[in-house]
Structure 1
Amino acid sequence: MGEGIMRLGFVSVNVTDLEAARKHYVEVMGMQMTDRTENEIYLKGWDEYDHHSIVLRQSNRAGLDKMAFKVHTYEDMEQLEKQLQQYGASVQRVSKGENHKVGEGLRFRLPSGHTMELFVEMEYKGKALPQVNPAPWPEGLIGVGAPRIDHLLITAERPHETVDFLMKALNFYMSEKVVENERSETPIAAWLFRSYTPHDIAIIPGKDEKLHHFAFWLDEFNELRKAGDVFSKHDVPIDVGIERHGITRGQTIYYFDPSGNRNEVFTGGYIAYPDMPVVKWTVDQLARGIFYFNHRQEWIEGFTGVTT
């Protein structure tokens, strides 16, 4: 097998008011709008070079439309198609242009019912910085000025089935998992990666086909604090934060877009390697794993229970 999946490519999200969503993601988060149609808006961060990393879709309900992961080569995609079929997945071919500015790909459903796609090529847009002798950041950033998307977290009624699928059919690695006790191995929840971060996707217990959040990367803790200021200034509903995760060690603020989709700004964490041992969290310590500072159980149930 070649290199396989490289990273999270884009997240397509349903929103109930496209103009309110545009204001949130462009004027608060500082994303660049690269295109729009009557029912869709395409966005990228200033440090992303592909045409888009987020698609906002006008819909009568919020939640995840689909997630798409970028693959190194078409040979890799063919190999992954075989693995998916061996694993019993029903795989559809996606033709070039079916996704705006994206080349051909594959579409299938996870055991949790979420739609996932793989693609190799997307139209190149370029960063907000030059490729020769760039400054550390561009002038004129708006609001949070998020450089890029980072990961997403979904819910599943039988999380271990989706975790198993992602690891066996798509070669994801596991960084951390929640188990019943120290002797247990079956994941109740898991954090999986293909790039170099603690997670490109995570799966926790909950309803099938639901989105818990998708996250924006920030380069350092001071930017997280500034994001909190920006959210307060714009009356963005903050869910939790500033907090620290025991799982991934990241620092975080969770908040909601105008349709009720949960977002996260995330920094810190560690570099993940395919050969590193998996970190286990036992259920009795899960509250500390989720929010290391303020691990009150009643918080956690509200936090994990709200999805779109």
Structure 2
Amino acid sequence: MAITGVMRPGHIQIRVLDLEISRKFYRDVVGLVETGTDPQGRVYFKCWDERDHNSVILRQADRAGVDFVGFRVSDRAALDGFERALKARGLATDRLPAGEMLETGERLRFTLPSGHDFELYADKTHVGNGLGLVNPPPWGADAERGIAPIRFDHCLLYGPNVQENKALFTEVLGFRLVERILGPKEAGEPELAIFLSCSHKTHDIAFVEHPEPGKLHHVSLRMASWEKVQRASDIMGMNKVSIDIGPTRHGTTRGETIYAWDPSGNRFETFAGGYEPYPDWEPITWTFDEFGHGLDFPTGKLHESFLGVVT
């Protein structure tokens, strides 16, 4: 588990088509904690058990999708070191000033070979989870509103140049490959999907080869257990949320999951379980002919919407 360098996913900014409808959906149905609105009109949320001020930011736009993803690094020295390493790699970087996002320090932004804006930061205001740090209870009122995920877990991004992304993340940012999905034998079995971790989770970010750059497949929100995923399915049903897949289990990552759609058509996931790949973990490979079970282990079905719909 990383104690230096890149530590964990920190935030994601999502484009939505109707900010007020989306605000209510993410607050009341998904059960995120609203933490502020900035002068640009962006709305900020955190999951109930996260201590940082924000992890999910919504921006009104005329098309759905993702603006950028941010990961937290251990300290400012690490941030400076990554900037030097990225420039040595030939990547252009930009420094966004502290405060451009609410309660967030200076951010180092660059564009991935897949066309996604990605950023690193070292500082964000701690607001706590409402339970305190001395003799805390195991949960509070925020853990009971809506689906109530405990944290922003990972995201899956679609775009070209997945192998260049893999090299950048493993050689510069300190991630490691945990799982991969190969293409068909007749195409030479290229890596179509990669699952990368900077911690001891099954993945902190994943990429799928896709011709269009900068696309979002899903934002994943961590649930505490399979039981909580099943509870999420009841809440989705009560609120007429459109479900893409699930409840089911992946073969890849062994995660227990539901994929569903927000009001703008962005896919989100409620995810639990998975194994714990420590640094000596050997990557798992899924062949193309068995990927149906990698996606939906009980049925082995390759869901057309899951494979083809991105924002």
- TM-score scaled to structure 1, two decimals? 0.95
Is the counterpart of residue 159 in structure 1 residue 162 in structure 2?
yes
Residue aligning to 2:233: 228
Instruction: Answer yes or no: is the 8 Å Cα contact 1:160–1:186 preserved in 2.
Output: no
RMSD, aligned α-carbons: 1.7
Distance change (3 Å), C-alpha of 1:76 and 1:158: same
Where do residues 177-256 of structure 1 align in structure 2 (5 Å cutoff)?
177-180=180-183, 187-206=191-210, 207-256=212-261
How many angstroms apart in 2 are the aligned matches of 1:284 and 1:164?
26
Tell me the SS of whatever aligns to 2:285. strand
The question of whether the paired residues in 1 share the 8 Å contact of 2:113 and 2:160 is answered with no
- Following superposition, the deviation at residue 22 of structure 1 comes to 0.8
* Deviation digits for residues 227-254 of structure 1 (CA, Å, limit 9, x no counterpart): 0000010111111101111000000000
Q: Residue 219 of structure 2: SS of its match in structure 1? A: strand
Residue 9 of structure 2 aligns with which residue?
Answer: 8
C-alpha deviations, 1:203-243, integer Å up to 9, x for none?
A: 01222100000111011111111100000101111111011
Taking the TM superposition and a 5 Å limit, the aligned residue runs for 1:50-65 are 50-65=52-67
Match of 1:17 in 2: 18
Alignment-derived partner of residue 48 in structure 1: 50
- Match in the other structure for 1:95: 97
Shift of 1:45: 1.0
Q: Deviations over 1:55-87 (max 9, x none)?
A: 000111110010000000111111111221122
Instruction: Tell me the distance in 1 between the aligned counterparts of 2:104 and 2:191.
Output: 34
Task: Name the SS for the 1:174 alignment partner.
Answer: strand
Q: What stretches of structure 2 of length at least 5 have no aligned partner? A: none
In the alignment, does 2:291 pair up with 1:286?
A: yes
Query: 1:36, 1:42 within 8 Å by CA — same for their partners in 2?
Result: yes
Name the aligned partner's letter for residue 107 of structure 2: G
Stretches of structure 1 lacking an aligned partner (at least 5 in a row): none
1:61–1:145 distance in 2 versus 1, CA, 3 Å: same
Percent identity over the alignment?
Answer: 38
Instruction: Give the secondary structure class of the aligned counterpart of 1:170.
Output: coil
Calculate the TM-score normalised by the size of structure 2.
0.94
